[in-house]
Structure 1
């Protein structure tokens, strides 16, 4: 847990970054949250150092990138092995995202991309051989996100 306490300026910066970190400038953020550009730069740096901002990632349309199979594996792993398996599976070919859940069953969500069914079968076999019990396989057709509304109120209360 972070010891950092976010104020309205920090929340406004996070909201703007979540909306479109690639295309927004420091000056745009500064204007939106009503502080100087240097304040925005310093706040972003502080939040990165504190681990609040963990990185900046592109949102990829895998189908457009010629990876037509975008699949979510819902898996189970023992509580003792879950974290280690989650970290290790990221090294497997095709895996793009792993979510560790608190539940006892269906506690790992492994997102993969593949070129064809043969490729997907190999990935499935690799998951099984690593100790995952695959509970279900879901084809992802679309993925929608939005900034968390808690970050939307800037210093002016907007």
Structure 2
């Protein structure tokens, strides 16, 4: 047994060094493969995904989601297009479409399988845009030039 140990330790490439060498090679290979996968996936995401703002997946109100869905369906949109563009699950989409249809804001055309925004829906979009414009903070007044608190 000691003879085997002496022969292995005397050999320049003993078994322990071989295992370490193989481990280092496999780690290097995994890092290279991982870097390649990351590079390819980031290129694919860049091709297909829109540039996202910071805090893109923040909480959205029901009004924001409904308004976005109505805007998406203005010129007619398939169910899947509305779902993907609004970042909704199929259950959420079903719920919103039922609500919007029941309230006459959106209608389904079974001939071309598309959803279209109704006139009532267009009116709601315009009202939401006017409201959003009215509550946007004025940059001058938000700097304290309004005299409030002076």
Q: Which TM-score band (shorter chain)?
A: under 0.3
TM-score, normalization by structure 2: 0.27
Rg (Cα) greater in structure: 2
Larger relative CO (CA 8 A, sep 6+): 1 or 2? 1
> Whose strand proportion is higher, 1 or 2?
1
> Counting helix residues as a fraction of each chain, which structure ranks higher?
2
